[in-house]
Amino acid sequence: MPRDVSTPAGARAVTAVAPAKINLHLGVGDLRADGFHDLLTVYRAVDLWERVTVALVDGDDADDDEVVVTGPGADQVPTDRTNLAARAVDLLRSEAGTDARLSIRIVKGVPVAGGMAGGSADAAAALVATDRLLGLGLGRAALEERAARLGSDVPFCIRGGTALGTGRGETLAPLLHARAEQHLVVALADGGLSTPVVFAELDRLRGEPGGARELPGAGGVEPLVEALAGDDPARVAGVLANDLEPAALSLMPALRRTLRAGAEAGALHGMVSGSGPTCLFFCADREQAIAVAAEVSETGVAREVRLTRGPVAGAHVIDNPQQTPEQ
Ligand SMILES: C[C@](O)(CO)[C@H](O)COP(=O)(O)OP(=O)(O)OC[C@H]1O[C@@H](n2ccc(N)nc2=O)[C@H](O)[C@@H]1O
Ligand SMILES: Nc1ncnc2c1ncn2[C@@H]1O[C@H](COP(=O)(O)OP(=O)(O)OP(=O)(O)O)[C@@H](O)[C@H]1O
């Protein structure tokens, strides 16, 4: 049974958390007829979390289906029914055949529009919380199927850990052997990049004379999958790849300075996270990550610098809304 939490309106509430993702490998294929690109990606969940509370609203005077967003960048997140968490709640509520009024509270811990799936994590946490709150008892597979309807990254935010993603990113196969802890620095940029715009920019670059030949392709995933079986961060760092990086750099050339700052600070590898503009610096251990974070921060190229690590668990309910997520 969900743990009941009393709110001022006398509602029952469930809180779930979901992690940010990074793409250790992001190979982008051709544009498909449905407007998506075929992907070959290795996802990893990292220790930055979205927190979503879904509450049954009993009081007459409470706002209908309220969405409240707090935390860094909250002002850039919609609070109407286009919010991905609201879409997740609406999907499960109609499936449950109830017209129960549900309020949604989101605490952002993942950079907004940063290429780390913040909105997708909101959707994942909202699905897990609403499933529990309404007593639907959907298993992980059923939740991931609903998740795929909401966005390509949402199933992985439910799954967590490290996984191979294919299709448009929604078809997952776990990489259970990839357990070694990885330390990295996350450098946030001023402003965001729109995911569809970055994919379109890659198509444009590939369409230029010589584009398809000159852009480095991410290639096969086997060297990374093999490296992840060991515990040598330098070996893993040597085989990371992101096909979207040239497109993100083309749209936001200032990111080159950020990547240079990380390289000069001694990171094993630096790259744009997914569709960007967040940059990731992979480090040998936590000590190096602390040093790289300090140096990148000092150069002033990033709006904010955070330390993180992975892999961590996927979306899950927490009993106490203040509780630290499971790792
Ligand atoms: C860049 C990544 O974050 C890498 O994991 C994902 O591919 C993006 O996943 P997402 O944000 O969940 O994206 P979705 O909400 O599914 O799609 C948003 C838009 O991104 C583009 N898109 C997304 C996924 C994909 N495989 N091909 C695409 O071309 C499409 O224009 C799509 O309309
Ligand atoms: N909970 C949310 N629901 C709907 N839209 C959101 C939500 N959070 C953020 N957004 C909006 O969606 C856009 C993308 O935000 P998000 O933080 O998911 O980007 P992202 O991390 O780059 O996504 P991805 O890495 O999955 O491509 C932003 O314009 C933001 O306003």
Residue 195 alpha carbon, nearest atom of ligand 1: 20
What does the pLDDT look like over 137-182, one tens digit per residue?
999 999 999 999 999 999 999 999 999 999 999 999 999 999 999 9
What's the maximum distance between 2 C-alpha atoms anywhere in the chain?
A: 64
Residue 20 alpha carbon, nearest atom of ligand 2: 21
Counting ligand 2 atoms within 8 A of each CB, the residue from 195, 251, 272 with the most, and so the one to mutate, is 195
> What is the chain's mean pLDDT, rounded?
92
What does the pLDDT look like over 56-114, one tens digit per residue?
997 665 556 799 999 999 999 999 999 999 999 999 999 999 989 999 999 999 999 88
Task: Give me the pLDDT at residue 11, please.
Answer: 43
Q: Are 185 and 294 in contact (CB under 8 A)?
A: no
**150/218 Cα distance (integer angstroms):** 26
**312/202 Cα distance (integer angstroms):** 30
Q: What's the gap in Å between 309 CA and the centre of ligand 1?
A: 24
**164/142 Cα distance (integer angstroms):** 19
Q: What's the gap in Å between 36 CA and the centre of ligand 1?
A: 7
Q: What's the gap in Å between 258 CA and the centre of ligand 1?
A: 24
Task: Give me the pLDDT at residue 64, please.
Answer: 62
Structure tokens that stand for 172 in this block:
């997952």
Q: Among 114, 49, 54, 127, which residue's Cα sits nearest to residue 88?
A: 127
Counting ligand 2 atoms within 8 A of each CB, the residue from 112, 244, 251, 280 with the most, and so the one to mutate, is 112
**316/159 Cα distance (integer angstroms):** 10
Tell me the pLDDT band of 2, cut-offs 50, 70 and 90. Answer: very low
Region of poorest pLDDT, from 131-135, 207-211, 320-324: 320-324
Residue 314 has pLDDT above 70, yes or no: yes
Between 61 and 204, residue with greater pLDDT: 204
Structure tokens that stand for 124 in this block:
């994942």
Would the CA dihedral through 86, 309, 323, 141 be positive or negative? positive
Q: What's the gap in Å between 198 CA and the centre of ligand 2?
A: 14
Q: Helices 286-299 and 255-264 meet at what angle, rounded to 10?
A: 130
Q: What's the gap in Å between 197 CA and the centre of ligand 2?
A: 13
What residues does ligand 2 touch, defined as CB less than 6 Å away? 76-78, 83-85, 112-120, 122, 153, 195, 274-275
Task: Give me the pLDDT at residue 209, please.
Answer: 77
Structure tokens that stand for 223 in this block:
């060297």
Instruction: Give yes or no: 153 in active site.
Output: yes
Tell the residue nearest (CA) to atom 24 of ligand 2: 117
What is the number of the ligand closest to the CA of 35?
Answer: 1
313 DSSP assignment: B
Pocket of ligand 1 contains residue 168 by CB under 6 Å: yes
What does the pLDDT look like over 251-283, one tens digit per residue?
999 999 999 999 999 999 999 999 999 999 999
Task: Give me the pLDDT at residue 60, please.
Answer: 64
Task: Give me the pLDDT at residue 4, please.
Answer: 40
Annotated catalytic residue: which of 47, 122, 131, 153?
Answer: 153
State the binding site for ATP: 111-121
The model's pTM is 0.93
What is the mean predicted confidence (pLDDT) over 17-23? 98
Annotated catalytic residue: which of 21, 47, 108, 122?
Answer: 21
Query: Domains (ranges, CATH) in the chain?
Result: 13-177 (3.30.230.10), 182-310 (3.30.70.890)
Residue 274 alpha carbon, nearest atom of ligand 2: 25
Task: Give me the pLDDT at residue 8, please.
Answer: 39
Residue 292 has pLDDT above 50, yes or no: yes
